[in-house]
Chains A and B, each alone.
Chain A
């Protein structure tokens, strides 16, 4: 569980009161550097530096002794059918699964919040899928959704013909279902924490004024949860890329075209070691995510200020 208030706090630079005042100047250098150095070197070596190289490669025709080709790699990639298929599927998956996940996890969090007791136990039910390795559930999902699987067997009892869940356009919805099943608990935790911070007197005032439950939700709960929602949205989008694990483990390297994601494309490019495409795709993804998260965090800062 990323602690989202921390992301927010770190980006707004609000230091809580009574915090330790850090040492400055030469003395700070002498005491701070030994602690900081190993981590900084590793971080620069394994993340920042190779990322710089990767951006550089995106503008070369080949990594070793290549020449500068400008945006040719980008033009090539953006006209590549496999890449565009992966990109649109990934975006479509995010567009469908993230709102469903947010709505359901808010609903579950609100119900759990209303429970008079056993909150811990009930929330445990929803947290368990989050920690289960994807591999451990593959055989279950496969037996459920296969052409001769248990779900079709169940429907057969109602006289419904076999449905090809995993190998048709419906596969997208199977993946949404699995994603929501696995990630519901994550946002639920965030929302539970968010709900507990809505001031009680707001609800009391609304109750005194005779507000309907829907009005209370619409005008008190929802606005108070806005910052939580923005941060939950960011985390859901980042986590939504992980659905590749289930897709890959259940349907293999070559799934139905409707669930061919960006990561499938990347895997194929890794297999043929196509550096220009790999690095260009990475550059686009990093730029896209960075811009997107910055815009959302700024928006969140504005509404919570």
Chain B
């Protein structure tokens, strides 16, 4: 290998670290600024001119996003977590929307995918093709059908209008079925010869082999519903029922320090999932053998 090429390779890592840090810049700013004191935030995030500015001949001020707080304080977190219970209420709303969808869709998609795997019936692939067509629709395309059925069932204003379609969404079924396909048939046959019931095969033979798929589906559904915006705007009219994902933007105007702290708390769970689950997600993708 020529020296020129070796040098190139040595420079690649620092270059990628720099690119990566640019990607993380918005997060880093949000994180460090959440440890600033209320006074510092007030000073940095205002563009109003003071009498001193005018005296000093400054005609224009801009928001001054600093990376390092003058004094590190957790007062914004204390404010969010202790003094302003409304944040915790909205956070609970997010949980109340997300957890039922995660748990429900996991159960339903595992069962449905298993049914698709073990049973061959006429039009099976046609039925599954419908699942795929719906899966490939953007959210915008299913909102109106969701709204119509919620209206008919009289659950338009309730969280159920968002949770129920989430539980039956086709993505999980698809993911589960594809990973069940690669389980060697010997497992099924051996279990059947031993006289195991279908339920036993499902719960004790198949499910334990799908751990990384289950992990991947859990994370993806959680991330999706934790970041819910469109359905919340349409279905939830009572602001006390709103998830934090929507509300965060409303308070942005006034109390920036508070918003930064709340934003950090809100992004902690999905970030943590990514840290512990990165391997599972990658493994899941490699398993399918993307060509």
Question: What residues of B have a CB within 8 angstroms of the CB of A181 in the complex?
Answer: 23, 26
The reply to whether A238 and B136 form a contact with Cβ atoms under 8 Å apart is yes
Q: Flag whether A125 is at the interface (Cβ < 8 A).
A: yes
| 14 additional contacts (CB under 8 A) given A31-B119, A282-B143 | A13-B125, A35-B114, A36-B116, A47-B170, A125-B24, A128-B23, A133-B267, A143-B63, A144-B26, A148-B61, A184-B23, A197-B290, A241-B140, A248-B233
Q: Is the CB of B13 within 8 A of A47?
A: no
A194→B285 CA distance, assembly (Å): 10
Question: Could you say which residues of chain B place their CB within 8 Å of the CB of A54?
Answer: 144-145, 148
Considering only residues 246-291 of chain B, those with a C-beta below 8 Å from chain A are 246-249, 252, 256, 259-260, 263-264, 266-267, 270-271, 273-275, 278, 281-282, 284-286, 288-291
A212 within 8 A of B: no
**How big is the B interface, by class?**
35 or more
What number of A residues sit within 8 Å (CB to CB) of B? 116
Contact indicator B118/A35 (Cβ below 8 Å): yes
When distances are taken between beta carbons in the complex, the residues of chain B under 8 Å from A7 are 132, 136, 174
B185 touches A19 (CB 8 A): yes
A138 touches B252 (CB 8 A): yes
- Name B159-186 residues within 8 Å CB distance of A: 164-165, 167-168, 170-171, 173-175, 177-178, 180-186
Contact with B along A165-191 (1 / 0, CB 8 A): 000000000000000010010000110
Interface of A is mostly: helix
Partner of B27, one of A21, A32, A132, A135: A132
A245 touches B229 (CB 8 A): yes
Pairwise interchain contact B65-A150, C-beta atoms closer than 8 A = yes
Residues in A with CB closer than 8 Å to B15 are 111
- Shortest CB-to-CB span from A26 to chain B, Å, is 11
- Closest Cβ neighbor of B66 among chain A residues: A150
| Chain B contact residues: helix, strand, loop or mixed | helix
Residues of B within 8 A of A266 (CB): 140, 143-144
Say yes or no: A142 contacts B252, CB within 8 Å: yes
Do A193 and B120 contact each other (CB < 8 Å), given the known contacts A39-B115, A43-B168? no
A-B contact list, 12 entries, CB within 8 Å: A39-B173, A46-B168, A47-B170, A115-B12, A122-B17, A136-B264, A139-B30, A139-B260, A244-B229, A245-B229, A250-B249, A282-B140
- A3 in the interface (beta carbon within 8 A): yes
B68 interface residue (CB < 8 Å to A): no
Q: Is the CB of A89 closer than 8 A to any CB of chain B?
A: no
B129 at the interface (CB under 8 A from A): yes
Interface residue B223 (Cβ < 8 Å from any Cβ of A):
yes
**Contact in complex: B278, A120 (CB < 8 Å):** yes
Chain A residues near B65 (CB-CB < 8 A): 143-144, 150
B138 at the interface (CB under 8 A from A): yes
Say yes or no: B141 contacts A289, CB within 8 Å: yes
Is B194 an interface residue, CB under 8 A from the partner? no
A19 CA to B229 CA in the complex, in Å? 40
Determine which residue in B171, B249, B284 has the highest number of CB atoms from chain A within 10 A of its CB, and name it: B249
Tell whether A32 pairs with B63 under 8 Å between CB atoms, given A181-B23, A197-B291.
no
Query: Contacts A10-B178, A139-B263, A234-B136; is A133 near B291 (CB within 8 Å)?
Result: no
- A46-B146 CB under 8 A given contacts A11-B129, A134-B245, A244-B229: yes
B185 touches which of A21, A116, A290 (Cβ 8 Å): A21
